[in-house]
Amino acid sequence: MKDSIAKTPFDKAALAMKVIMIFNAIVLIITAIIHFVFFKFLKSFNGFVLTIYLIIWAVLFVLIEFSLLRTRTWFFFMNFGWGKALFLLFIGLLLVAAGKSVTWVDILSGVWFILCAVIFFIISMVHKDTEAEFVKDLLDGVEKKQQEKEAAAANRV
């Protein structure tokens, strides 16, 4: 598996990670909706807070992947595969080990996020040299967009 990942250009791997992260945002939203709809009485306050966090993290994933609101610079570690992997591992473990509030949806989602984390770690380790250059280019593009917005705003005044 590692050899096939190594032969894949990083552009394709980055696109695959982006698509998976957007899918993960959808999974988080669906998990939160299932919590609110089917488990009307969340088993604990922790379950309620976890559900709110799932929605926030889903929005964060979308903002980062579409480079909105300078989130790529605010959450710098999420530009790298290892950063996404650590965050997905955190979410997966939190879903699986949430105590009284764990449901079948949490376990299913948690296992999915842990699996994605392992895949992202592998991709990040195999492409660590080209990933740094790719992230630098991404951030340069975000900064350039921000400077253009600021210049346009200054010209309007």
More confident: 149 or 101: 149
121-137, pLDDT tens digit by residue?
999 999 988 998 888 88
Q: To the nearest whole number, what is the mean pLDDT of the chain?
A: 87
Name the pTM for this structure: 0.84
Please give the structure tokens belonging to residue 122.
């592998």
Across 54-58, 90-94, 147-151, least confident range: 147-151
pLDDT at residue 120 tops 60? yes
- Residues 95 and 151: beta-carbon distance below 8 Å: no
23-35, pLDDT tens digit by residue?
999 999 999 888 8
* Residue 40 confidence (pLDDT): 62
pLDDT at residue 2 tops 60? no
Q: How far apart are CA 116 and CA 19, in angstroms?
A: 12
Q: How confident is the model at residue 3 (pLDDT cuts 50, 70, 90)?
A: low
How far CA 1 is from CA of 6, 11, 15, 119, in Å, comes to 9, 18, 18, 10
